[in-house]
Chains A and B, each alone.
Chain A
Amino acid sequence: MLVALPAHAQPMAPPVLAAELSARRIEVTTAFTGGEILVFGATERLIGSPEMAGSDQVLVLATGPDRPLVVREKVQSLGIWMNGPSARFNRVPAYWAIAGTGRVAELLSPDERADLRLGLDLLPLVQLGARGAQFRPALVELKQKAGLWVDEAVPVQVSGGRLFHARLPVPSTVVTGEYRVQVLLVRAGRVVARQELRLDVVRSGTAAWIADIARGMPVLYGLACIVLAAFAGWLGSVLFRRG
């Protein structure tokens, strides 16, 4: 297996794969309505159509920080729908997106795909609490519906044979933290080179400031909420008093 060698090792040969992100930071401000991760790059050899045997292909995988989650199932009890059994998953990627120049299952051999866990069905999710096979598919479905898990919904687009780019959508509910974007070069069903890029999703501006104070200084924040609401109520009644 070839790897993307640093330039100084082979000064004459260009790297087989070079990729970059349009931005290394996504800033979540009070006006944030969602964004995208734009990955772009170039390959040394031509990127062929997925049907062409032996041609180069590109896969992009983005993952967010792991978070514990609880999946609850609603059950009917005494005629009322309420939360029933719940399963806990300790390490769930808050964001997960995959895109390729073709279908991932067709580009990679099944073994390679399983080794690298390139698929929603291959994520290592350990279920605690309630048993039952229904919780994992429910989690996958809800995450996809929320736009937080993007399973080949967008393609990696190729221009000029060697330039590629992918726009992975990021919803407004995105979790802050450190994200990893992996760009994989696939040849004959195997990953032959990879490049890993880091992306930070940070709260910024007023939203960050408010969330930090609410978490770090809850007593001060609680008092501030009381004073601000009381002041706003008083000010509003003075400004909008009719007659």
Chain B
Amino acid sequence: MQVYLPIAEMSVDALLLLGIGFGVGWLSGLFGVGGGFLLTPILILIGIPSAVAVGSGANQTLGASVSGLMAQWRRGNVDFRMGAVLVVGGFLGSLVGVQLFAWLRRAGQVDLAVALFYVVVLGTVGALMVRESVTAILRRRRARPARLHEHLWAHGLPLKIRFRKSRLYISVLPPLLIGFAIGLLSAVMGVGGGFMLVPAMIYLLGMPTAVVIGTSLFQVVFVTANVTFLQAIQVGSVDIVLTLLLLTGGVVGAQFGAAMGTKLRGEEMRALLGALVLSVALALLWDLLREPTALFTIGPVP
């Protein structure tokens, strides 16, 4: 069943989009991440223009994260003060990111920039995740107790604030910077950034695991909303028909994934997610290195 996407100005098989939404939703439910990092490359792969894939990918991630945020909110797992600091950084980051995106589009290098961002960011994060989880699995075998409270470099900076829910008294600068970086990547890559934000909150800020998921969802929802808005008014690349089709498949898939996710252990799950992230990065890298099938492309004058 073909459906015409009004902003992408092309028709795509609706069942294909529902299927992609389901698959990505299933994985995101399984691993507890938004899944934008998988969705945007797949959309580009099936021929959706990069700009539309990024804009609609951010919009889809927003929808996919809302119900998760509400569930975490009800359980009291959201540190609102930390969330607000991250969102302020995220807004600034996405503002800069969308300007960068519009500039790249004028220069005709959006495709390359999006692919490079994916290769570098996913490659780094994927490798770190695999390494960390493999070490954790090995350490578990040897059963060495971890330190109770780690004193991190972030604790020495000025402008300290007390984050009661996270049981932290740290400078406001590291979370602002992390929020900024994630916001920028969100705008350029069309992702929510949960897969980067969660490790950053645990290892860089030292937040307790219980509030990490809820607080990262809080940041993801607000930043993807901002990216959606800015992409819609500055680039004009958010396709609501595409978003809603992906979401329909996604919310169903997420429920199945979440049900399955409870059966897996934390370390194994992180290792699997890391391997998945790493393989997406390698696939995109291969795409940059091999000789393209079409040496020429045509596009509208930016």
Give the B-binding residues of A (Cβ under 8 A).
28-34, 67-74, 76, 79-83, 86, 88, 134-135, 138-139, 141-143, 172-173, 203, 206-208, 210-211, 214-215, 218-219, 221-226, 228-230, 232-234, 236-243
Contact = CB atoms under 8 A, between A and B. Distances in A.
Contact of B7 (A70, A80, A214): A214
A221 B7 CA distance: 12
B4 A31 contact: yes
Contact of B254 (A31, A69, A72, A237): A237
B67 interface: yes
A222 B228 contact: yes
Given A139-B298, A236-B251, A30 B63 contact: no
B70 A234 contact: yes
A218 B233 contact: yes
Contacts of A29: 4
B301 A69 contact: yes
B159 interface: no
Interface residues of B, number: 59
B108 A233 contact: no
A230 B63 contact: yes
B300 A241 contact: no
B198 to A, nearest CB: 19
Contact of A214 (B11, B221, B232): B232
A34 B291 CA distance: 31
What are the nearest 10 A-B pairs in CB distance? Answer: A236-B251, A222-B232, A237-B67, A233-B63, A229-B63, A138-B296, A222-B229, A172-B11, A233-B66, A218-B233
15 contacts: A29-B4, A31-B4, A70-B299, A71-B297, A81-B292, A141-B296, A207-B241, A214-B236, A218-B236, A225-B228, A228-B243, A233-B66, A233-B247, A236-B251, A239-B251
A242 B300 contact: no
B109 interface: yes
Contacts of A68: 300-301
A240 B255 contact: yes
B112 interface: yes
Contact of B244 (A214, A232, A241): A232
Contact of B251 (A83, A226, A240): A240
A83 B11 CA distance: 26
Contacts of B111: 83
A34 B252 CA distance: 31
Contacts of B11: 32-34, 172
Interface in B65-82: 65-67, 70
A233 B300 CA distance: 33
A218 B4 CA distance: 20
Contacts of B187: none
A142 B62 CA distance: 36
A149 B242 CA distance: 27
A196 B289 CA distance: 50
Contacts of B4: 28-33, 172, 207
A80 B67 contact: no
